[in-house]
Amino acid sequence: MKVVKVGLLGLGTVGGGTVNVLAKNGADISRRCGCEIIVSSASARDITRPRICETDGIQLTTTPEDIINDPDIQIIVELMGGEEPAKSLILKALSNGKHVVTANKALIANHGNELFAVAEKHNVTLAYEAAIAGGIPIVKAMREGLSANSIEWLAGIINGTGNFILTEMRDKGSAFADVLKEAQELGYAEADPEYDVEGIDAAHKLCILASLAFGMPLDFKSVYTEGISTITPLDVTYAEELGYRIKHLGVARKTDKGVEMRVHPTLIPEKRLIANVDGVMNAVVVKGNAVGSTLYYGPGAGAEATASAVIADIVDICRQLDAPSDSAVPALGFATDQLKALPIVPIEEIITAYYLRLSVEDKPGVMAAITTILGNNGISIEAVQQKEPEQHGASAQVILLTNSVVEKSMLIALAQIETLDSVNQPAIRIRVESLQ
């Protein structure tokens, strides 16, 4: 049986998981791709550190260039993370005629257009299934399984840390800061959690998903990003009472005006399957015009879950090693010369429904003033609740669900509402998606 040698750049959690899964499932993997896959080399900053995998038979080095320049290695797997030196190493590997597999979503989102062009120039593959949603094969599903469809929209819970935090806030009534600390202690959140809780990680992934969906070049800078650090247990509870769950959602939608790409907290009806995705799990809903809505669910991180996606890309490359270079599936699912830049809809121009919470003085006429302002701005109310103050003199809470409206109209209305003497604090505003 033909042997294909693989070199790993990075031997941390996912690198070790990749070695372990290849060892555990090697026989079945070989049967699927018709060759034996061997990890012959791996680079790490400290090769003396204990690993989660056996390293017997693997040549370890602190110099990743040794692996990239090794003529016997056909596939490079980049698991270092970060933009540099990962980008430079991948460019060198592609230029050396080596296929590359990466789990680096930030690198693909920010530099994928350049990297894919270099891969195409040198007739090699740059694969990235593991960059989005861990073990969920969402890239293959969108690029190949849904290729008969015109994609209308997609929505995903694509960051497990944020989903864990919101789940714990709902189940335990805990404050954001307390759950974040718990997530850090459990290893779900980094010491600096900004990328997770402020939506940057999810935005990287959404950028790639949008390009796969709509055949457009990667455009990370156009993704609107909003985090979950301002979500309170009060809003989680009130959303539940209204029949909704709050999720940190990435949404990409094609409209007559262009493409929406946005990451933000979102109320989702609790009857939707994706509203019931809890803990560190990920899920993506994709709406195609032929198939309708399809849901992809699974672990968004973890050593062997992510390794599953890494190895799937290695298997795909092995299957194509002796095939003509022009038979490979395009990196973003559309022929390179068919990728088209599309206008991006500014966040102020999107149309969605809203959850509003207002802290107001408990006196007559307050609701009339609020509803008048909303009505003057073309905003109709679907549901309203008023929570009486817990003690004399405290603020009452008014919770409103609106029908769909252009965001800029909502912003104008809220600015006017917040000038009322009876409104004590800035309004809490969370977008609502029905996902139908």
- Catalytic site residues? 205
325 by Cβ neighbours in 10 Å (0-12 / 13-18 / 19+) ranks as exposed
Dist. CA 140–CA 391, nearest whole Å: 56
Phi-psi region of 29 (alpha: psi -120 to 50; beta: other; left: phi over 0): alpha
Contact of 217 with 110, CB cutoff 8 Å? no
Query: Three-class SS of residue 305?
Result: helix
Find residue 251's DSSP bridge partners: 155, 262
Dist. CA 14–CA 111, nearest whole Å: 22
Q: How far is CA 267 from CA 162, 180, 242, 272, in A?
A: 14, 20, 10, 11
- Whose tokens are 């699974």? That residue is 298
Tokens standing for 409? 């109209």
Find residue 258's DSSP bridge partners: 255
Report which of 33, 147, 34, 120 is spatially closest to residue 326, judged by C-alpha positions.
120
Write out the E strands in 388-427: 396-402, 405-406
- Whose tokens are 């994709």? That residue is 286
Query: Three-class SS of residue 428?
Result: strand
Q: How far apart are the first and last CA of the chain?
A: 49
With residue 166 as reference, give the H or E element that holds it. Answer: helix 160-172
Please say whether the dihedral angle defined by the alpha carbons of residues 195, 356, 272 and 250, taken in this order, is positive or negative.
negative
Find residue 101's DSSP bridge partners: 77, 127
Dist. CA 69–CA 91, nearest whole Å: 12
Dist. CA 356–CA 353, nearest whole Å: 10
Q: Which residues are within 8 A (CB) of 174 and not within 5 positions of it... i.e. 6 or more apart?
A: 168, 182, 233
Dist. CA 367–CA 371, nearest whole Å: 6
Tokens standing for 50? 């204990």
